[in-house]
Amino acid sequence: MIKLFRFLNALNFDTAIGAIVIASFVSYVCHHLIGWPVYLALFISVLAIYNFDHLIDTLMLSEDAGTFRRAFYQRHFTVLIIWQLVLIIIGIVIIFLLPMPVILAGTCMLILMGLYFWLILKALKNNLVYREIFVAFGYTLAVSIVPISTTYSLTLKLVWIVLIIFLIALSNLWVLAIYELGIDQKELRHSIARSVQKSRLLNLARSLVFLEVIATIGFMFYFNLWMEGGLLLLIEATYFVLLEGRSLFDKEERYRLIGEAILILPVLMYVLNAKV
């Protein structure tokens, strides 16, 4: 079972499922319904973007990879290029099933992702602080694309929940970067943990989680959304535990499995609602 999960994690399936769950969560909180073609488009888009990102990382490696995912991409590089083409073809087909506002928003996302890949190869190759913020912003926009593209006014609730999701996405990147500092140093790979002193990044990550908790508690009280806020707090608490228990979760890359799988937690919202 663990091997299967690691395989799915290497191919970013858990990240894609987590994106669908978070998108559903945002839409539920903001009372915006999402059709299945949009979920499918988001799923394929996340798989394609992350797969392409890892292919680029693999090309940049000058020696054997130090993590399971990077080693997986090195061993199966040609097959994963074919997989990338399959994802692109599926994505093109799905476009014909999407409503026009989502297509327009998706086009903006494609431009944004194109800018991202240009930046990591050129302008931001050595400036990882801005790169991580850019990635978190792109993820947040992707999971919030339907409420943002179909509403004619940005409500306080929508802006607030999108801000919380952005902070969670950024803390995810920073926590994983702290764990993989040693690997990045060995591979001579640029990372935020190498460009920023580890102790400083650790304190920044702690402060970020604290800020998320404050924002989430305020969200819970202001909108009386206790269950929804509680699920977000569990995600934030998980990242705090990962920060403080590095010796425990460093083994067998448990930190990555937990850090990415925890974003699926909001699916419990539907289970809890069904019992109410």
What three-state secondary structure class fits 190?
Answer: coil
Which pLDDT value is given to residue 53? 83
Report the predicted TM-score, pTM, of the whole model to 2 decimal places: 0.87
**206: CB partners within 8 A, 6+ apart:** 240, 243
CATH number at residue 249: 1.10.600
The helix (H) or strand (E) run that includes residue 6 is: helix 2-10
DSSP 199: H
* Residue recorded with tokens 């305020």: 218
| Residue given tokens 């978070």 in the structure block | 22
Task: Give residue 276's pLDDT.
Answer: 45
End-to-end CA distance of the chain: 32
What per-residue confidence (pLDDT) applies to 127? 56
DSSP state of 114: H
CA contacts within 13 A on the Cβ side of 160: 20
Q: How many domains does the chain have?
A: 1
Mean pLDDT, consecutive 10-residue stretches, the chain (276 aa), reads: 77 90 88 84 90 84 73 91 95 89 81 74 58 80 75 80 94 88 65 72 92 97 93 95 88 83 82 54
Instruction: Report how far Cα 218 is from the mean position of its chain's Cα atoms.
Output: 23
What does the pLDDT read at residue 128?
A: 57
Q: What residues make up the domain containing 122? A: 2-275
CA distance 250 to 238: 14
Closest CA relative to residue 268, chosen from 223, 219, 227: 227
